[in-house]
Amino acid sequence: MASLDRAARTYVAGHNGLVGGAVLRHLRSEGFTDLVTRTSRELDLRDREAVDRFFDSERPAVVVLAAARVGGILANSTRPAEFLSDNLRIQVNVLDAAARVGVERLLFLGSSCIYPKYAEQPIREDALLTGALEPTNDAYAIAKIAGVLHVQALRRQYGLPYVSAMPTNLYGPGDNFDPVGSHVLPGLMRRFSEAARDGAPSVVVWGSGTPRREFLHVDDLARACLHLLEHYDAPEPVNVGVGTDVSIAELARLVADVVGYQGAIEFDRSKPDGTPRKLLDVSRLHALGWEARIPLREGIEETYRWFRASLAEGAARGIPTPA
Ligand SMILES: NC(=O)C1=CN([C@@H]2O[C@H](COP(=O)(O)OP(=O)(O)OC[C@H]3O[C@@H](n4cnc5c(N)ncnc54)[C@H](OP(=O)(O)O)[C@@H]3O)[C@@H](O)[C@H]2O)C=CC1
Ligand SMILES: C[C@H]1O[C@H](OP(=O)(O)OP(=O)(O)OC[C@H]2O[C@@H](n3cnc4c(=O)[nH]c(N)nc43)[C@H](O)[C@@H]2O)[C@@H](O)[C@@H](O)C1=O
């Protein structure tokens, strides 16, 4: 694959989000000069006619599809209809429009939750569709699986060099810190930080603490996205991860340590654990010459500095701005 032309018009869908924001920063730092963005208020990607008009007028040559309805285990399990419907519509509208106007390169972002709940660990890309899904996020996973197949169908029917990446659990600057809707790492960072501030004697962590997850800093993911656009052109999705995991109890202790919380940690077993383990096999990506660089503790420390600075500015997502 040839490198991308830095002057190519490049649309980053979802640029206000965790992933889209990091992709935008990385593309800028790599010299991309014609970046196109729209917030969901400016362009609701669920609206097919609006998406068609946008692609007709902007004519991007490259698209990174990082816009999606995203949330942690509780949001996914309590609002499955939104996760299924919004994600299907966003993907179908963007992929159809991209193919119609002749977008040259496109990266679709799936998620490690598309793999079966009890997939063999570490999870290889060919585990897709080999077993039953984790019920807490099956609606979201089915939408994302449809996206992977849509990319493969566009390749098969029209010969378009579009590709899919499957990131593991992500974190970093720009994450969503909503106490109910967020993923575990920002959720715990907020809770431990508030407990440290208030001198709370204990902090509650959802579930048993035994599930294992792999955490990738979003700046690493952004590098991987560009790497795949420039070095990968095949139908199979590519896992993006670090290759090691931690238990939720270990993660909780690490976050507590970084934010300086010294009280007790309690586990609320009434909350779902979700998949017992989700560790990706990243050998395909390593064979393409890419590896993660940011160690977990360092990434959490940097994210915490960003979180505190954003709190001070009233700019952290999922946290009400003080009146
Ligand atoms: N976070 C994670 O741990 C993981 C994420 N991923 C994948 O990465 C991608 C990005 O996720 P992430 O950045 O975390 O999610 P975020 O929630 O941080 O960002 C999603 C973005 O999508 C945009 N969006 C949502 N709905 C619409 C809509 N109807 N029309 C237009 N834009 C919309 C939002 O735009 P606006 O802000 O303007 O409303 C938002 O900025 C997703 O495909 C997700 O599946 C994969 C694995 C793990
Ligand atoms: C990326 C991936 O993210 C989701 O799947 P998940 O990996 O289960 O994500 P999670 O980050 O929400 O939880 C991880 C683990 O952590 C535990 N946990 C403890 N305490 C908190 C807590 O405070 N918040 C949250 N959210 N979880 C907590 C929680 O009980 C679970 O055992 C998918 O729905 C789907 O969206 C998807 O693709």
Any domain includes 91: yes
Confidence of residue 163 (pLDDT cuts 50, 70, 90): very high
How many angstroms does the Cα of residue 175 sit away from the middle of ligand 1? 10
Average pLDDT, the chain: 97
The whole domain housing 152 covers 10-174+215-243+278-296
Question: How confident is the model at residue 88, as a pLDDT?
Answer: 98
**Residue 242: pLDDT over 60:** yes
Question: How confident is the model at residue 114, as a pLDDT?
Answer: 98
* Contact (CB, 8 A) for 217 and 150: no
Any domain includes 288: yes
Is 140 considered catalytic here? yes
Confidence of residue 315 (pLDDT cuts 50, 70, 90): confident
pLDDT digits (tens, 9 = 90+) for 10-47: 999 999 999 999 999 999 999 999 999 999 999 999 99
Total number of domains constituting the chain: 1
**Proximal ligand: closest to the CA of 38:** 1
Any domain includes 31: yes
pLDDT digits (tens, 9 = 90+) for 118-155: 999 999 999 999 999 999 999 999 999 999 999 999 99
Question: Which atom in ligand 2 lies closest to the alpha carbon of residue 169?
Answer: 1
**Residue 320: pLDDT over 80:** no
Protein residue whose Cα sits closest to atom 41 of ligand 1: 17
How many angstroms does the Cα of residue 298 sit away from the middle of ligand 2? 21
How many angstroms does the Cα of residue 73 sit away from the middle of ligand 2? 4
Direct distance between the N- and C-terminal alpha carbons of the chain, in angstroms, rounded to an integer: 52
CATH of the domain at 159: 3.40.50.720
Q: Which residue in 140, 162, 171, 232 is the catalytic one? A: 140
